[in-house]
Structure 1
């Protein structure tokens, strides 16, 4: 895990170019404190790198790295680099380091742009080909690692983080009002190739980019919805387990100690239990944050007791640290802190950093294709209704209502929302949420500025695709990257190993939600290695915080006392909702948090 930066700008004098690349690199020093490098492989071309040494800790892994006419700056991990290296050595290629960076360079030398089809992992990299005078860039299949850029005419700048691009002569500071609206009304921190800044774009997941000195050509190399797997196994749970274990083995590859975030929930428990099952006995550290009223340590304790070689670290954040953490996180993210749960993750990373950990496994990514969110039920029931499986629909609705202890009002609400999901497209559903779920902060300026394309006739799978690529995961991964990198930690997400995702995404709905349980195939697959009290728990909590309810009325109350600086926000609407919130109405607490956070960011960090 590292920070990359660079540009192709032949109009920039060499002295000024060197100053710019150094500023870009220094602005991302938190991403790689172990080493720093700049290089100009051709006239007008500059690469920069901040290194967090994880694989091959020697100076041989220094970047930018050049081999012949190719130069690379790279952020991420190619987990199957050893297997690819062996294949390349058999083809006659020779290596002078033990890093995965050199493997990428040699793979590109052999296969060109198709090299990414061989990779399992997370990445964002740029390769300059001095023979062709061409820049090749790539981002991993699910957007785990960031790649931002600005292009204008014959100049192209790129970096891991937005703050580095602010040193480019192409940066104007113009804001993208559409993204501000999506942030407040939907909680989306990113959308498609857009950012909060008009000229700063991001490479989308599964895309390659070529810059030839004049034009940018972007094309997808990966298409999840195009992959239709027919499992050779008659036991999907066993197939899932085999793929998950394979992912865990690969994600544990490192030349430094690996630990794990750990909430006591199903996903993090699955990761920690799998590590202990495959690698125990052995030292393994976990990191947990808790609060009064939001304490999952009793569940985590079940895993700690089952695997006594675990060294647990827990933290109850000091209320006096909340305000400082918010300010620091906003600066780190380059965007507004659109939810308080991201601060919990910030504290987890801080706790791990204090113990000297450089690599953390994390359970991110499973909810989106294993259907862990409860609003997945609307699309499940819509799928059954469209397929004419009314008895299955009624049975599952009854089972869930019994297990979750839902009253008649909740059941009716779920039924009505399921009918909406049957009749409406995802685009229509999200448009309704965008305009009507929360107060309209933007008045007549609020325009529908997104499009959720139709991916699959099955509502559940269609919903799953957009969870992965549009509505939720991309925002979560952005914050995962910024929070971990704030403390020079590489966060790894084994649930997003593409063979595992492809297999599970292709499974029929009943293997994802069945008998009152979400993530059914995961529970079946890992029931023999996880404590039963976690495997079969039916409540779901993420990084729960008292933020929107408690912090915003206490430690972060100053955010509400700030003058409204945003010209886009309707002042009367803001004052009305703020007053209701301060009087104890929590209905729109998340919306109040988002506007307050956006207002602070607009004033101080835009």
Structure 2
């Protein structure tokens, strides 16, 4: 994994602007701590920060190949999992390949297939290629959007980068937000609408899309989209196909020239990945698999069961580690350190985010990185196979909004009256919801419940899942840790998309089909375990720390937070006994401490990024 950035302008001589390019590149040093490189011509400038995973010597970037007298130059962030198949295919087409790196394969694939090249790639990626012959920049992002890519079109310049901070380092890109950005922060956040960069001039290249910039013309279009077809396999065939696709995805993603392990929570998804990875390690004589779990000091003392978090992970982690004979590492997070890393997590994401959940993953990644460069994680199985409570409760299925935002009206009183008049918060949320429904690829003659569940899966795959993938990428790459997500394998996603709900909900369980398909890999106790999300801290000290920090903001008459948030409402909220206050926000993953922390991050973001509100 790496960080990429660049600048194209057909009306300027960019060879004179190396200092700007270097500044943009250095903002992403955490993504690529091992090496850096730049390439500059008259109208194109590309830069790269490298995290070495495969072929240390042969994968240096920017990488150049010649097409006759013309250069073709690539910067690339990601990992391919079909390296050998692609290498053989390209060699059969006459390409002479001189390295083991996947960077060279992508460049050769572009030379062979042009803009169709992403269709030949299995992996997670965002890359930019300058085609000197065509005088064109070609950019592509992986199908699911595991790897990020942002861009800005300012005058005659096109500027891009893996993270928004690289764009903001360019003198042309100003940290300005308008009504759309405000509405995203106050009603959609910590999620983002696909394609929206929150900052006024910054956009996101959507997953599964390509971009071409040539002669001042910007052309963006999808190369991959979910397609709805009737599922023809019977239940037993479907089970076998899901199991096979899962096992293939995990095995493909174990390729690495550096130490590799897995994240293990003791839940179905991470346990299945760890189990199959351990099997491959033993089969190939790679030694014991290293597994990693996270918890918080004294969490067992303060943990209380609820619908969204029914039990603690620790006993299940021990059970699985013993079952697969892994070398396990339990990482304990101190609540004061968690509190102190809220601001660091903000910088990693470039936006207010999932607060303590972000910060804890940041610290988790920091500790894993001391021993590993790559880990596999169980993200996205819930979105692909239906794991959340909102897939299974009728009132949530029929909520007629984003299921995780059904209590969004409770957020509105905290928004300043002036901002409410500007953004019409509930109308904005409704418009984004309706936009999403309008995109759903539908099937005729599908039953009412199957049609609604198709909508639910689309909402989750395209609006909720990117939030978690954003989090995973930014927090892990903040310490140069590559996290791979086998449940995002596009073959598995494509197949699962068209499996009817009646099969996915096998046994009337969340992820019922997946549980059944994985039963030979796991102890029955883990197969039966009720879903429990990424662990949160339950320690009262964390709430006290966050409460005190917000009180200080309230006392600060010039705190920029209150350009967006109603000070009186915050004061009234703080006067309550917050230890007994229930404020489920954003799918119950964010509670009272997280709401306070979001205000803290929002205030800090306005200050640190010198944000101008227009």
Q: Which runs of 5+ in 2 are unaligned?
A: 304-311, 443-447, 585-591
Distance in structure 1 (CA, Å) of the matches to 2:294 and 2:547: 19
1:577 corresponds to which residue? 573
2:20 corresponds to which residue? 20
Distance in structure 2 (CA, Å) of the matches to 1:476 and 1:209: 24
Asked if 1 retains the 8 angstrom alpha-carbon contact of 2:281 and 2:289, the reply is no
Out of 192, 195, 198, the position equivalent to 1:196 is 198
Task: Say if 1:156 and 1:122 are closer, same or farther in 2 by CA, change over 3 A.
Answer: same
Asked if 2 retains the 8 angstrom alpha-carbon contact of 1:64 and 1:72, the reply is yes
Deviations 1:145-201 (A, max 9, x none): 000111123210000011111122321211244344333434443212112211011
Task: Say if 1:511 and 1:104 are closer, same or farther in 2 by CA, change over 3 A.
Answer: same
Task: Answer yes or no: is 1:551 the counterpart of 2:547.
Answer: no
Counterparts in 2 of 1:143-542, with a 5 A limit?
A: 143-226=145-228, 230-231=232-233, 234-280=236-282, 282-291=287-296, 292-293=299-300, 295-308=312-325, 310-355=326-371, 357-378=372-393, 381=394, 416-418=395-397, 420-421=398-399, 424=400, 426=401, 433-436=407-410, 439-442=413-416, 443-447=420-424, 448-449=427-428, 450=432, 451-454=435-438, 455=440, 456=442, 458-470=451-463, 472-542=464-534
Give 1:234 deviation, angstroms. Answer: 4.1
**2:318 aligned counterpart, secondary structure:** helix
1:139 corresponds to which residue? 141
More moved, 287-296 vs 7-16: 7-16
Distance in structure 1 (CA, Å) of the matches to 2:346 and 2:369: 19
Give 1:32 deviation, angstroms. Answer: 1.0
Distance in structure 1 (CA, Å) of the matches to 2:411 and 2:230: 35
Distance in structure 2 (CA, Å) of the matches to 1:560 and 1:363: 37
**1:63 aligned counterpart, secondary structure:** coil
Distance in structure 2 (CA, Å) of the matches to 1:236 and 1:543: 32
Give 1:342 deviation, angstroms. Answer: 1.8
Distance in structure 2 (CA, Å) of the matches to 1:232 and 1:114: 33
**1:3 aligned counterpart, secondary structure:** strand
**1:169 aligned counterpart, secondary structure:** coil
Asked if 1 retains the 8 angstrom alpha-carbon contact of 2:7 and 2:158, the reply is yes
Give 1:438 deviation, angstroms. Answer: 6.1
Give 1:103 deviation, angstroms. Answer: 0.5
Deviations 1:223-281 (A, max 9, x none): 11346554488422111110000001110011112111111111111110111223326
Give 1:444 deviation, angstroms. Answer: 2.8
2:309 corresponds to which residue? none
Give 1:65 deviation, angstroms. Answer: 0.4
**1:216 aligned counterpart, secondary structure:** strand
Give 1:494 deviation, angstroms. Answer: 0.5
2:308 corresponds to which residue? none
Give 1:440 deviation, angstroms. Answer: 4.6
Task: Say if 1:582 and 1:188 are closer, same or farther in 2 by CA, change over 3 A.
Answer: closer
Deviations 1:347-388 (A, max 9, x none): 221110122x1111011111112111101114xx5xxxxxxx
Task: Say if 1:12 and 1:557 are closer, same or farther in 2 by CA, change over 3 A.
Answer: farther
Distance in structure 2 (CA, Å) of the matches to 1:135 and 1:216: 10
Asked if 1 retains the 8 angstrom alpha-carbon contact of 2:387 and 2:531, the reply is no
Q: Would you say how many aligned residue pairs link Structure 1 and Structure 2?
A: 559
Distance in structure 1 (CA, Å) of the matches to 2:482 and 2:238: 31
Out of 595, 603, 610, the position equivalent to 1:591 is 595
Distance in structure 1 (CA, Å) of the matches to 2:150 and 2:513: 36
Distance in structure 2 (CA, Å) of the matches to 1:591 and 1:317: 20
Give 1:594 deviation, angstroms. Answer: 2.3
Counterparts in 2 of 1:563-574, with a 5 A limit?
A: 563=556, 564-566=559-561, 567-574=563-570
Distance in structure 2 (CA, Å) of the matches to 1:15 and 1:439: 52
Give 1:337 deviation, angstroms. Answer: 3.0
Distance in structure 1 (CA, Å) of the matches to 2:54 and 2:347: 29
**2:280 aligned counterpart, secondary structure:** helix
Give 1:546 deviation, angstroms. Answer: 2.9
Distance in structure 2 (CA, Å) of the matches to 1:166 and 1:142: 25
**1:6 aligned counterpart, secondary structure:** strand
Asked if 2 retains the 8 angstrom alpha-carbon contact of 1:24 and 1:167, the reply is yes
Task: Say if 1:500 and 1:3 are closer, same or farther in 2 by CA, change over 3 A.
Answer: same
Distance in structure 1 (CA, Å) of the matches to 2:565 and 2:151: 28
Asked if 1 retains the 8 angstrom alpha-carbon contact of 2:7 and 2:159, the reply is yes
Query: Normalized against structure 2, the TM-score is what?
Result: 0.86
Distance in structure 2 (CA, Å) of the matches to 1:208 and 1:91: 24
**2:355 aligned counterpart, secondary structure:** coil
More moved, 118-127 vs 564-573: 564-573
Asked if 1 retains the 8 angstrom alpha-carbon contact of 2:31 and 2:477, the reply is yes
Deviations 1:101-127 (A, max 9, x none): 110011111111111111111110001
**2:261 aligned counterpart, secondary structure:** strand
Give 1:305 deviation, angstroms. Answer: 1.1
Distance in structure 1 (CA, Å) of the matches to 2:186 and 2:577: 16
**2:341 aligned counterpart, secondary structure:** helix
Query: Normalized against structure 1, the TM-score is what?
Result: 0.87
Deviations 1:465-496 (A, max 9, x none): 111112x1111111111111111111100000
Give 1:284 deviation, angstroms. Answer: 1.4
Asked if 2 retains the 8 angstrom alpha-carbon contact of 1:183 and 1:594, the reply is no
Asked if 2 retains the 8 angstrom alpha-carbon contact of 1:227 and 1:502, the reply is no
Give 1:12 deviation, angstroms. Answer: 4.6
Distance in structure 2 (CA, Å) of the matches to 1:188 and 1:318: 24
Asked if 2 retains the 8 angstrom alpha-carbon contact of 1:186 and 1:433, the reply is no
Task: Answer yes or no: is 1:86 the counterpart of 2:88.
Answer: yes
**CA RMSD in angstroms, aligned pairs only:** 2.2
More moved, 570-579 vs 519-528: 570-579
